[in-house]
Structure 1
Amino acid sequence: MAVWAPEFWEFPSWASGADLMFAEAAGWGRRIRFRGGVGGHAHVLEVGREAARRQVRRLVHAHIGRPCLRAMGAGLTPEWGEWGREGRTYSLLPEQRG
């Protein structure tokens, strides 16, 4: 099962156990609250921990925001998951190793 969750404040329970999850990556180390307090963005470190806890097999951080672009520029990587890459193909099939 693949899931697309580009924007959330709380980790979506329906993504638990996903084989592939494309997830929120607007913030790096702290949440970003929407004006007026009506939701916002979780941050990459939190999303990764929660995805691992909820047994997401492969996590791709997408919808990458400025704080994460700065982190990437500084050579930082997520604790769990990988940065999404424009133009890359993602598959639910097992990777072939050779």
Structure 2
Amino acid sequence: MWESLVTDVLIWQSAPLHVVHYERLVNNTDLYLRGMLHFLRVPEDEERLSCVSSHLAGPVKSVDKKAVDPFTSSEKMKIAKAVDRVNRLLLLLGYPVIASSQKT
């Protein structure tokens, strides 16, 4: 469903799109948040950006603290193939691509 949604938006959306990949957002939160705010024409609020920057690390607040991987090896392979197909479309359309999820 994710692949279908992303593909439809990339192909059929007439409004401008701003593609942000999770990994890049996590690795450089301030830069990518500022880029999203600029794209959306939302004024930057330094106090809020500072607050976000001060809460990037630490435990996620959840009831169950155990790390559980909900995906089987087969599901992970299907996800990696979907990411690769979306990457090819992103590349074709001139957007940044997602870091490869397949282990070689």
**TM band (smaller chain):** under 0.3
Q: Kindly indicate which of the two structures has a greater share of residues assigned to helix.
A: 2
Q: Kindly indicate which of the two structures has a greater share of residues assigned to strand.
A: 1
Quick check: which has more Rg, 1 or 2?
A: 2
**TM-score normalised to the size of structure 2?**
0.25
